[in-house]
């Protein structure tokens, strides 16, 4: 299992052309991932202060990458059902 952990204030995920862009504004870094060369097999979101575009969700669904949103309020986690 090789998850991509998204955390931090202002983290954003979007699609630009044919690439997936992850921008960690609080850390001042940006990563770009090409299709078929994704180094992760799942995405775990540990913060609800950022943004994920609908196109990014579609990109992840098309490449069979599940997205998990964590909630730390002593309740069950939320797993959105994403299908292409």
Residue linked to tokens 């943004």: 51
Q: Where are the domains of the chain?
A: 3-69
pLDDT at 53 exceeding the cut of 60: yes
Average of pLDDT values for 12-22? 93
Residue 42, judged by CB atoms within 10 A of its CB (0-12, 13-18, 19+), counts as middle
Tell me the pTM: 0.77
Which has the higher per-residue pLDDT, 6 or 73? Answer: 6
Q: Beta-carbon neighbour count of residue 60 at 10 Å? A: 23
Average of pLDDT values for 26-46? 89
Token pair of 32, please?
Answer: 């770009």
Helix/strand/coil percent split, the chain, to 5: 10, 35, 50
pLDDT at 48 exceeding the cut of 80: no
Q: Which of 13-22, 28-37, 45-54 has the lowest mean pLDDT?
A: 45-54
**pLDDT value of residue 61:** 93
- CATH 3.100.10.20 assigned to 3-69: yes
End-to-end CA distance of the chain: 22
């Amino acid at each position: 299992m090789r998850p991509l952990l998204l955390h931090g204030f202002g983290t954003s995920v979007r699609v630009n052309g044919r690439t997936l862009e992850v921008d960690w504004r609080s850390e001042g870094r940006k990563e770009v991932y090409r299709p078929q060369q994704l180094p992760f097999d799942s995405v775990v979101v540990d913060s609800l202060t950022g943004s994920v575009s609908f196109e990014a969700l579609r990109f992840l669904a098309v490449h069979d990458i599940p997205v998990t949103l964590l909630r730390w309020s002593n309740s069950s986690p939320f797993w959105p059902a994403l299908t292409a």
